[in-house]
Structure formats: structure tokens, C-alpha cells
């Protein structure tokens, strides 16, 4: 019976739950807990920068990859021994949070949060390496999918139980319950199968250097590293302000949060299933591009939740956002696993996973200040702007054109300009709206967009491109009217359309002159 239990991929369902527990404990409940203790959203944003510890885990990953814990190593092997140790310590740290009042002991709360992040990162290092080495028995994309489902069970289904059984105000009981669950999960680690772990006679430092040397020799590695660093930046910066948004608009009721968690749990299966299908049918590079687009769109949707904070919108927008999160998580894990050399599993994966977190973590300390300065509506629009570079670079990844040249530059500029126009059209200008002729602005911007798009897309049907840009201009005007921030104006649509035709005419004349001169 135990041997059958060991030979399965579904242990990663529970290991995913284990990985999610610290993140959930320091996620939405943590934010609501601090806000209920009268901590400002600016302070909340700064406190969450403590998660930078997770982003620096590549610094101690060589030790987790090398050091053998006495007794536990002989019983469980390298990966599972570190997993077991980190799970037990995390259980005690969560238990400690249940005895603290952040109103009087905020510094101690931050210290415990830092320790939770540290041992969570140790767990992640061991678990990521274990999962990569486990793909000897099962496909990497299947393991990533099962792991993500488990992760979302920990984040959402357990979250729903927390809010249903305890209520959002009994914070000591919440963290006591989470600690109890964390203490139960080491049993899965003990029962999981031991993997073939590559033994190394190198010193930790030389192994660290060799791992980076091998990684930096990969094709277009600089562009790939930039893509990895910015791919989830908007999600990370947005995260701390979700609790503040729900509190401000009255969506922080326990039954609302519980219902959200149940729907988000279902959305995880949808997103993970779509990702698995996309990777197998459309390949990983296109799936990465698609994921960047849907994450940008889902982030912007929270602006509309601020405008229309109904229960239906709360559930629907979070449902769509969770689909996007699950989709991109499965794609991203599969993508990172494909970059890792099995000789340096823990070091390289830890570094790449850290690179995902560092830029966003450094920026999210300012999230509360941005939300206070520009309001929640514009804050989430700004998160959309942060997602534009990821869309552009993942498009080049999809086209397998990561090397920079003039044509690729025009393609990136075309995509970026279209997204910038879309977001600027929806942003709330407040009292700073331009006094310039807005019809001239519409005309000029769409003319430039059309010209750049036609230059960048030489092999694409011109009529097809023109129809897409015209449709964009019309749909944005309708969306503006839905927000209630601007009236629907036919003259704007006419100005947009004239700009499209002007851009086309300029491109046509330029091409004809070039042919004549040739």
C-alpha cells in the first residue's frame, strides 16, 4: 500500500498545499489582520517588503543543495530532509503568530513574518529541486499542474474553511488552525518517494559558480532573464493592496471572502487545465505570451471592481484573476524547468525563482503610497502599465526572436503602444485632464500606431491589421462609457478612424517612394 502511495504524482497535491500555507498566512489574511489593527495601507505595503527574503533564497540554495541533515538524510534523502525540517519550523512560527497582537507588537509580527518567509524559501528550494528531479517518473507539465492545484487548494479551499469556520476577526484562532494544518503535512513528505539526487564532490562555492556559468551560456540568456524578472511584476506589486481595496469598499465580510475562496478554488482547475492544454497543443512559448496578456487584463479588472463593488463583480473578477494566476503559474513553472540543468537543479531553479520575485518585491513597498496618491482605480491601471514589458518580451519569445534588431524593435513598440493607448484611454485623469485638442491627440496617436504596426508586420495582411486597430479604437470608446468616467463620443471614433487611414496612407506612400528610388 505504501509503495503504491510513493509511486504517484498526487503527493505533489499535498506538497503544493504545504508550499501555499506560508504564502496564504502572510497574504490576504495577514493584510486584513494588520488593517483591523489600524495599520495604514502605506505601512502594510512596507511590511510586505519583508518577503524579499524569499527572493534572496538563491544565496542559501547551495547549502540546501549540499548540506546533509544528520539522521534525516539517511532516512529521507537530501530533498525530503530539508522539506521536513522547514515544514516543522513553519508550523511553530505560525503557532507563534496566534499569540501576538499587531496593534501592540507590530515589530515582533514583522520579525516572525521574516522568519516565516525564510523557512518558506528553504521549503521552496527543496520542493522545487524535488519536483524537477521527480520528472524522471512523470511529465514536468503534469507535475506542475498537480502542484499548482495543490497550491491553490492551500490558498483558496483552506482559506474558505478559515473564513467559514472561524470568521475574519478571530485572528489568533486563524493562525492556530493554520499551524495545526502545517504540522500535519510532514506526513506526506515522509511517505513521498525518494528521488535520484545527483551527488557532487564540489565545494558549495565552486558548485554555485559552475551553476551560474552554465546558465549564462544559454542562448539569449540576458533577454530571458529580463523576461523572467518582469513577467509577474504587476501581480506582486498589486498583491498587498487587495486587502486594502476589499476593506475600503466593504468587501471584507467573512462570508464574501469564503465564497470567493470556493470560486477561486474552482477557477484553479480551469486555469491549470487550460495551461496544460495550451502547453501541449500550442507549445510553451505561445502559452507564456498568452499568460502575460491575460494577467495584464485581470489586473486592470480590479479598477472596475473599485467602481462597482458588488458581490457579483467581486466573485467574477476574482474568478477570472485566479484563472489567469493558475494559467501563468503552470506555464511559468514549466518554462523555468526547461531552462534548468539537472546537475545544478536547486541552485539554478532557486535563482530563477528568486529573479521572478525580486523586482516586484522591491517595488511593492510603494504600493500603498501609489494607491493613496492616485486612488485605487488608477492604481490598478498602473499595474496594467507594469505588465506591458512582459507582454512585449513574451511575444518575442513566442516568435523565437529574442535577439534584438530593428524589426523586433518595431514589433515591440507596436504592441507596447497599443497597450499604452488602451490603458491611457481608461485611466481617470481627474482634474489634470489635458486642455489640448483631444480629437487631434486621438488622430495623431492612431496614425502613429497604424504606421508602426504596418512597418513591423510586413508579412501580415494589411486589411486584417487595419480592422484590428479600428476595432480597438471603437471598443475603447464603449469601455470608457462603461466606467462612467467619460461620455461616449462619436467624434472620438471618427478621429481614431481618420488617424488609422492617415497612418496607412503615409505607410503606402513611403513604400511607393522606396520602390521608385530602388
User: CA-to-CA distance for 459 and 503, rounded, in angstroms?
Assistant: 18
Query: Which residue has better confidence, 372 or 202?
Result: 372
pLDDT > 70? residue 128: yes
Q: Which three cell numbers stand for residue 447?
A: 496614425
Cα distances from 433 to residues 306, 425, 429, in angstroms, run: 21, 12, 5
pLDDT > 90? residue 352: no
In a domain, 430, yes or no: no
Say yes or no: 185 and 320 in one domain: yes
Q: Which of 355, 384, 404 is the last residue of a domain?
A: 404
Q: Angle formed by the axes of helices 311-339 and 140-152, to 10°?
A: 150
Give the structural domain span for 301.
2-404
**DSSP codes of every residue in 96-110:** HHTT--TTT-HHHHH
User: CA-to-CA distance for 35 and 247, rounded, in angstroms?
Assistant: 8
Say yes or no: 362 and 456 in one domain: no
When the pLDDT of each residue in the chain is averaged and rounded to a whole number, the result is 85
Find the helix or strand (DSSP H, E) in which 234 lies.
helix 233-238
b (16+ CB within 10 A) / e for 22-52? bbbbbbbbbbbbbbbeebebbebbbbbbbbb
Q: Which of 184, 194, 185, 186 is closest to 76 using CA atoms? A: 194
In a domain, 88, yes or no: yes
* Tally of domains in the chain: 2
State the pLDDT at residue 278: 93
User: CA-to-CA distance for 360 and 367, rounded, in angstroms?
Assistant: 10
What tens digit of pLDDT does each residue of 260-318 get?
A: 888 988 898 899 899 999 998 988 999 999 999 999 999 999 999 999 999 999 999 99
Q: Which of 343, 378, 404 is the last residue of a domain?
A: 404
Say yes or no: 171 and 291 in one domain: yes
Say yes or no: 378 and 512 in one domain: no
Q: Give the pLDDT band (50/70/90) at residue 111.
A: very high
In a domain, 431, yes or no: no
Average pLDDT over residues 315-342: 90
Q: Give the pLDDT band (50/70/90) at residue 204.
A: low
pLDDT > 80? residue 202: no
In a domain, 504, yes or no: yes
Helix (H, G, I), strand (E, B) or coil at 492: helix
pLDDT > 60? residue 159: yes
User: CA-to-CA distance for 226 and 389, rounded, in angstroms?
Assistant: 10
In a domain, 413, yes or no: no
State the pLDDT at residue 6: 60
Say yes or no: 135 and 259 in one domain: yes
Say yes or no: 381 and 443 in one domain: no
Q: Which three cell numbers stand for residue 12?
A: 505533489
Residues with Cβ < 8 Å from 355, sequence gap 6 or more? 225, 228, 229
Q: Which three cell numbers stand for residue 505?
A: 496612407
In a domain, 329, yes or no: yes
Say yes or no: 363 and 481 in one domain: no
Helix (H, G, I), strand (E, B) or coil at 46: helix
In a domain, 490, yes or no: yes
Q: Helix/strand/coil (H, E, C) string of 187-213?
A: HHHHHCCCCCCCCCCCCHHHHHHHHHH
State the pLDDT at residue 1: 45
Q: Which of 350, 385, 404 is the last residue of a domain?
A: 404
At which residue does the C-alpha cell 513574451 appear? 394
Average pLDDT over residues 174-197: 88
Q: Are 83 and 126 in contact (CB under 8 A)?
A: yes
Say yes or no: 146 and 28 in one domain: yes
State the pLDDT at residue 137: 74
State the pLDDT at residue 300: 93
Say yes or no: 342 and 456 in one domain: no
- With a threshold of 0.95, does the pTM exceed it? no
Write the Ramachandran bin of 400: left for phi over 0, alpha for psi from -120 to 50, otherwise beta.
left
State the pLDDT at residue 467: 93
Q: Which three cell numbers stand for residue 357?
A: 520575485
The percent of residues in the chain predicted with pLDDT above 90, rounded, is 34
Amino acid at each position: 500500500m505504501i509503495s503504491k502511495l510513493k509511486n504517484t504524482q498526487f503527493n505533489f497535491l499535498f506538497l503544493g498545499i504545504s508550499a501555499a500555507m506560508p504564502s496564504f498566512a502572510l497574504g490576504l489574511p495577514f493584510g486584513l489582520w494588520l488593517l483591523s489593527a489600524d495599520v495604514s495601507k502605506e505601512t502594510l505595503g512596507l511590511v510586505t517588503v519583508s518577503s524579499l527574503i524569499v527572493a534572496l533564497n538563491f544565496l542559501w540554495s547551495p547549502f540546501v543543495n549540499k548540506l546533509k541533515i544528520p539522521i534525516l538524510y539517511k532516512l529521507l534523502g537530501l530533498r525530503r530532509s530539508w522539506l521536513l525540517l522547514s515544514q516543522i519550523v513553519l508550523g511553530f512560527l505560525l503557532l507563534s503568530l496566534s499569540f501576538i497582537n499587531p496593534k501592540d507588537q507590530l515589530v515582533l509580527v514583522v520579525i516572525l513574518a521574516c522568519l516565516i518567509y525564510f523557512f518558506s524559501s528553504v521549503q521552496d528550494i527543496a520542493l522545487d529541486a524535488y519536483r524537477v528531479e521527480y520528472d524522471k517518473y512523470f511529465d514536468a507539465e503534469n507535475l506542475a499542474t498537480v502542484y499548482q492545484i495543490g497550491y491553490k487548494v492551500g490558498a483558496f479551499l483552506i482559506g474558505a474553511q478559515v473564513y467559514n469556520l472561524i470568521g475574519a476577526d478571530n485572528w489568533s484562532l486563524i493562525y492556530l488552525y493554520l499551524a495545526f494544518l502545517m504540522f500535519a503535512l510532514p506526513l506526506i513528505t515522509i511517505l513521498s518517494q525518494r528521488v535520484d539526487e545527483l551527488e557532487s564532490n564540489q565545494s558549495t562555492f565552486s558548485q554555485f559558480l559552475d551553476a551560474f556559468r552554465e546558465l549564462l551560456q544559454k542562448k539569449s540568456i540576458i533577454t530571458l532573464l529580463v523576461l523572467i524578472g518582469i513577467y509577474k511584476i504587476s501581480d506582486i506589486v498589486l498583491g498587498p493592496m487587495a486587502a486594502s481595496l476589499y476593506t475600503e469598499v466593504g468587501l471584507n465580510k467573512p462570508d464574501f471572502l469564503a465564497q470567493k475562496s470556493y470560486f477561486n478554488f474552482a477557477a484553479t482547475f480551469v486555469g491549470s487545465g487550460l495551461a496544460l492544454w495550451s502547453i501541449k497543443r500550442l507549445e510553451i512559448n505561445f502559452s507564456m505570451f498568452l499568460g502575460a496578456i491575460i494577467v495584464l487584463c485581470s489586473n486592470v479588472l480590479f479598477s472596475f471592481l473599485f467602481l462597482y463593488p458588488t458581490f457579483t463583480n467581486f466573485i467574477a473578477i476574482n474568478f477570472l484573476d485566479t484563472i489567469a494566476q493558475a494559467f501563468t503559474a503552470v506555464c511559468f513553472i514549466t518554462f523555468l524547468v526547461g531552462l534548468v540543468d539537472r546537475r545544478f537543479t536547486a541552485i539554478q531553479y532557486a535563482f530563477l525563482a528568486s529573479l521572478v520575485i525580486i523586482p516586484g518585491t522591491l517595488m511593492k513597498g510603494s504600493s500603498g503610497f501609489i494607491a493613496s496618491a492616485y486612488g485605487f482605480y488608477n492604481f490598478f491601471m498602473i499595474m496594467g502599465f507594469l505588465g506591458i514589458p512582459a507582454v512585449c518580451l513574451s511575444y518575442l519569445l513566442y516568435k523565437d526572436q529574442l535577439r534584438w534588431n530593428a524589426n523586433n524593435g518595431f514589433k515591440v513598440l507596436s504592441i507596447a503602444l497599443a497597450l499604452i493607448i488602451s490603458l491611457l484611454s481608461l485611466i481617470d485623469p481627474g482634474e489634470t485632464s489635458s486642455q489640448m485638442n483631444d480629437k487631434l491627440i486621438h488622430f495623431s496617436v492612431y496614425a502613429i500606431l497604424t504606421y508602426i504596426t504596418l512597418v513591423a508586420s510586413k508579412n501580415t495582411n494589411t486589411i486584417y491589421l487595419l480592422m484590428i486597430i479600428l476595432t480597438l479604437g471603437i471598443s475603447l470608446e464603449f469601455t470608457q462609457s462603461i466606467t462612467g468616467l467619460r461620455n461616449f463620443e462619436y467624434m472620438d471614433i471618427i478621429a481614431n478612424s481618420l488617424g488609422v487611414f492617415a497612418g496607412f496612407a503615409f505607410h503606402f506612400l513611403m513604400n511607393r517612394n522606396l520602390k521608385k528610388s530602388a
